Structure formats: structure tokens, C-alpha cells
Amino acid sequence: MEYHLLKYLDTPDVRKIDVYESIGGYTGLKNALTMKSDEILSQMKKSGLRGRGGAGFPTAIKWTTTATDPATPKYVICNADEGEPGTFKDKVLLELNPHQIIEGMIIAAHTVGAKLGYVYLRGEYPGAFVSMQAALDEARSRGYLGPDALGAGMEFNLYLHKGAGAYICGEESALIESLEGKRGQPRVKPPRTANKGFMRKPTTSNNAETFANVPLIMSMGADAYASIGTKESPGPKLFSVSGHVEKPGVYEAPMGISLHDLIYDLCGGIKGGRKLKGVIPGGVSTPILTQDKIDCPMDFVSVSECGSMLGSGAVIVFDETTCMVRVAMRIARFFEHESCGKCTPCREGCGWLRAILERIENGNGHMRDLDLLLEVADNIEGRSFCALGDGASMSARSFVYSYRSEFEAHIKEQRCAFK
């Protein structure tokens, strides 16, 4: 397997600019600076790059929207607020290869016409903060950032901003509200942040892994990049694999690798030789998949057809010893805690989901609770300001649908058989 995003992570001091340049770093930027905005946008469209933060939105469309908006100034923001439980793939890039993210952001700024950008970093990543700040200082001293980047007449300054631990700030409009010094809560859409983003000006906001893919496209070429992965979901993808596997960690694979190969080939199979019970394929906001669906290709289209979503690529594996009611309850607790409280369906509904699941797990449930749980989930989904409410409802519903007999056993026996 040929690696692209993780290719040089074992190279000593690759986070330092001299080493990064020696392995071809900033070549993509130098190529981009010889091109006009529409030429770069054409390459991005041809590459088929889709956002790696969870939504999978085509990057070229987002950049084009900001680039063609006549309003100024424009901004570029890196969403490095990696707060989805089970997700830790951006952390590897931020700590060990920060210049690849910075290079991607400078290319984006050149394309959309931005002079200022921010990296919004998860507050619980102190190591990434040190690494990113050092890389920004190096890039500035080397002339990649500042009033005249590489003498190409391009002005771009980039700064690091540390978040305060709110999961909701992973949603791009809530992130921008926080960056502006306000309470981190999602905005009503439309307008979209590509037109009315930071300071209500055109803003391109992408995930850290998305920006790390940009230098690959500009150095290897859009056609070569698009040949990796699948037609609908091109390129390499980072997967954070945790749970009951022999070798958890961050793995790079082409889009479309099967869930089976990811678990059993790359991760060494289920820990202790036990049987697989279920897999969350894209972080806790995505529906769980049962063991009979692990041949599912891991790309944006296929995972949806299998009944879930690729999300951030956070694969959480559960073996046969796992109580799925307890897992659903723990996830519901997370969403209740992280709900920003702006909208009633999410603020009240997440609490209801948690309370019902706790009741069932603790042996106090009733059969009618299962229908009530599904009813509450249906009343949340599609009615909240952002996707947090959707994630909470889809998660709870998928556990009941996939493991209903286990829920019923908790209720009938008034206990958890896995304790």
C-alpha cells in the first residue's frame, strides 16, 4: 500500500521546516503560486476531494463559492477542533506533520483571495498546540507567510487559536462564533459560512485532514490523486480505529477499503480472538453497523448504502462481551452534556434519550420505553439547528434497531447480563 498522508511520519524531525522541505514539502504551494485561481479550482474539482471532517462536502464547491463572492476581506479557517469520540486522526497530522496542513491553507488562501486565516485547535491537544505554533513561526520566518509569500505578491497571515473544549465548536458556524469571541453556538442557515462566515465575510473552512490533502493534489496532479480510492470518493483517508482490536491506531488507506480489511488485516482482528459484535464506522454520531455488514467499503457513498455514514472515519469496534445498551447510554450522556442548548429538540430531547437508556440499563425499564425512545429520536432528527441532535437521534435509534433483543432482555430480566 502506498502512503501519502502518513508517508514521512517516521522521518526524524519531519515537523521541522528544513526536513519537510527536503522531502518535497511546499512543492505543491510553489506550483499553485504559478497558477490562477480558476486553474486551481479546476484541479480541485478534477481531484474530487471531499471534506474529511464528517460531512464529505466537495471541497472545490466550497472554495469556488468563497472565491467568486465579491465581498472582501476573505478568510481561511482550519477546523482542528477534533472532538468526536473515537476520532484522533487529525492529532497525528497536527503534532507530527503540521507544515502539510499549513501548506494546504496557504494554497486555499491564494485560491480564494484571503489575506488572513486561523487554525482553530482543540483545547485538549497541548502537544499539537506546541507543534503547530512552532511550524507557523518557521513558515513565517522562511517567507511562506507574511506580506509577500515567496515573492509572489501574495499576502497571507495565519494564526493559531485554542478552543475551550466544546464539542459543538466542531460545527463550522459555532466554531466561527467562538473565534469571534462569542458563545459557541451554531448559526441559522442560510446564509452559509462560505458567503457569510468569519465577521460575516466569505470564509473557506475545512478540516485539518482536508487541508493536508491539498498539497498532494497540487504536487502529484489531480488525475493521479483521483486514481486513488473510488470514483465517488477519491483519495487517501485516515481512519482512527479504537476498541476491541489487536492493534488500535491511525491507519491510512485508499477510500473504499472494506471495513473487514481495515479491522482484520490492518488492525490484526478482534482482541483475544473473540467474535465481532458491532462497529461504529465514523464516530459516535454515526449509526452502528452489525457484524454482518463489515464487508462494507469505507467511502462516503457505500457506508451510506450500508445504513450508516463514513463521518470522520472514527472506527469503534465492539466484541461479543459488550453491552450495547450501556454503549448507547454512554453515547447519549455525551450528547446531552455537549448540547449547546440553543434549540429545544436537542436540548430537551438528548436528556430524554439519556434518561430512557439509563432506565433500561439499570433494570427499571418497560417495553413501552423502546417505542418512546424511537419517538423521541424521530422528534429530534431534522429539527435541530445543527447535526448534533441528528447524531444523538441516529445513534440511539440504530442501537435499538440493531440490538432490540438485547434491550428487551434488559427489560424482561430487569438487569444487565453483561455486568
* Confidence band of 418 (pLDDT split at 50, 70, 90): confident
* Residue boundaries of the structural domains of the chain: 17-226, 236-319, 324-413
Q: What are phi and psi of 402, to 5 degrees?
A: -80, -30
- Dihedral angle over CA of 344, 348, 349, 351, nearest 10: 160
Say yes or no: domain 324-413 is CATH 1.20.1440.230. yes
Q: Which residues pair with 199 in a beta bridge?
A: none
Task: State yes or no: pLDDT of 293 exceeds 60.
Answer: yes
Average pLDDT over residues 358-376: 95
Cell numbers for 10, please give them.
517516521
Closest CA to 370 of 392, 399, 347: 399
Give me the pLDDT at residue 385, please: 86
Task: Name residue, grid cell 519531519.
Answer: 14
**pLDDT tens profile 95-121:** 999 999 999 999 999 999 999 999 999
Give me the pLDDT at residue 1, please: 56
Closest CA to 150 of 14, 26, 17, 21: 26
Closest CA to 50 of 311, 382, 388, 314: 311
Q: pTM for the complete prediction?
A: 0.95
Give me the pLDDT at residue 2, please: 66
Say yes or no: domain 17-226 is CATH 3.40.50.2300. no
**pLDDT tens profile 386-395:** 889 999 999 9
CB within 8 Å of 329: residues ≥ 6 apart: 354, 357, 358, 360, 361
Average pLDDT over residues 297-314: 95
DSSP secondary structure of 257-317: -BHHHIIIIIS-SBGGGPPEEEEESSSTTS--EEGGGTT-B-SHHHHHHTTS--TT-EEEE
- HSE value, Cβ hemisphere, 13 Å, CA-based, for 182: 13
Say yes or no: domain 236-319 is CATH 3.40.50.970. no
Rg (CA), the chain: 22
* Confidence band of 417 (pLDDT split at 50, 70, 90): confident
Task: State yes or no: pLDDT of 224 exceeds 60.
Answer: yes
Average pLDDT over residues 199-228: 96
Task: Name residue, grid cell 424511537.
Answer: 374
Give me the pLDDT at residue 246, please: 97
**pLDDT tens profile 253-267:** 999 999 999 999 999
